[in-house]
């Protein structure tokens, strides 16, 4: 993956979990990183320090992905700090909360869709003109196995928002291919991250585990290979509009 050396990446939601693992893996291949976070400043700074301690280049950038102006400022700061954006990883997301349909309200819909769906388009809207100017780029969206299965208990809204991301990935890939911008997605299954700690009970996790042919919950580091593959022009230069499933066999399309 020598082609990744000296390239730049903005990874959203990179303070913990899969985003942090991806940022550290990118930096280990010589990429320069913008580590995005919203509320987890200490964790984001720890990711930055981990990268710098290994000889890499990284900085932390804050933005609430529900706020379009904050997204615009985040991209502007990243471009100013790194000079260009070769790879955008749209990883930021949240289930927010599990709510039975009888208790669903409009405010929850707006929050989940803004965090998981609208933010992806908003980051793309800001980054694509920069990539066009520099002659190309690479966008990797993060969807979920929930987009295929409908999600766990009372997670239909999260699942729907991730279904949007998967479908939008196909549409963006077709729109941007002429600009030498590839657009793909990674769909993690059940991964042991703070996301699961917050939204899933031990009983839920055991039920998820039982549905996985590999018989275990995945780790964030087990997802990074898909991101490295998609980020590398040498390895995946003829790949666009695809969703790579990383789920231990839980779902096999």
Within-domain flag for 252: no
Within-domain flag for 253: no
Pairing of strands 57-62, 87-90: unpaired
C-alpha atoms less than 13 angstroms from C-alpha of 59 in its C-beta half-sphere: 11
pLDDT of residue 113: 97
Judged by DSSP in three states, 127 sits in helix
Within-domain flag for 35: yes
pLDDT of residue 128: 98
Give the domain range for residue 86: 2-246
Query: Which positions of the chain have pLDDT values less than 50?
Result: none
Structure-token match 């964790």, residue found: 43
Within-domain flag for 23: yes
Give the torsion sign (CA, 223, 55, 236, 166).
positive
Within-domain flag for 15: yes
Q: Tell me the C-alpha distance between 19 and 136, whole Å.
A: 23
Judged by DSSP in three states, 77 sits in helix
Give which of 63, 60, 78, 56 is closest to 137, Cα–Cα.
78
Within-domain flag for 59: yes
CATH number for position 155 = 3.40.50.720
Contact 224, 25 (CB under 8 A): yes
Instruction: Give the model confidence (pLDDT) of 26-69 as tens digits.
Output: 999 999 999 999 999 999 999 999 999 999 999 999 999 999 99
Within-domain flag for 251: no
Total domains in the fold of the chain? 1
Within-domain flag for 132: yes
Q: Enumerate the active-site residues.
A: 158
């Amino acid at each position: 993956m020598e082609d990744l050396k000296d390239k730049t990446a903005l990874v959203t939601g990179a303070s913990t979990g899969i985003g942090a693992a991806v940022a550290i893996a990118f930096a280990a291949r010589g990429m320069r990183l913008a580590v995005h976070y919203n509320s987890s400043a200490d964790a984001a700074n720890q990711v930055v320090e981990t990268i710098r301690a290994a000889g890499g280049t990284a900085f932390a950038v804050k933005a609430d992905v529900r706020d379009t102006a904050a997204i615009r400022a985040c991209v502007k700061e990243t471009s100013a700090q790194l000079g260009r954006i070769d790879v955008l990883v749209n990883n930021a997301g949240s289930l927010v909360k599990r709510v039975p349909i009888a208790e669903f309200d409009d405010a929850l819909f707006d929050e989940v869709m803004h965090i998981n769906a609208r933010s992806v388009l908003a980051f793309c809207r800001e980054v694509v003109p920069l990539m066009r100017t520099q002659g190309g780029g690479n966008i990797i969206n993060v969807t979920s196995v929930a987009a295929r299965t409908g999600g766990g208990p009372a997670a239909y809204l999260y699942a729907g928002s991730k279904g949007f991301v998967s479908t939008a990935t196909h549409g963006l890939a077709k729109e941007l291919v002429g600009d030498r911008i590839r657009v793909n997605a990674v769909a993690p299954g059940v991964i042991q991250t703070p996301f699961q700690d917050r939204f899933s009970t031990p009983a839920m996790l055991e039920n998820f585990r039982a549905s996985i042919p590999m018989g275990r919950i995945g780790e964030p580091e087990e997802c990074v290979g898909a991101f490295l593959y998609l980020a590398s022009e040498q390895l995946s230069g003829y790949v666009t509009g695809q969703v790579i499933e990383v789920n231990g066999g839980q779902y096999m399309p």
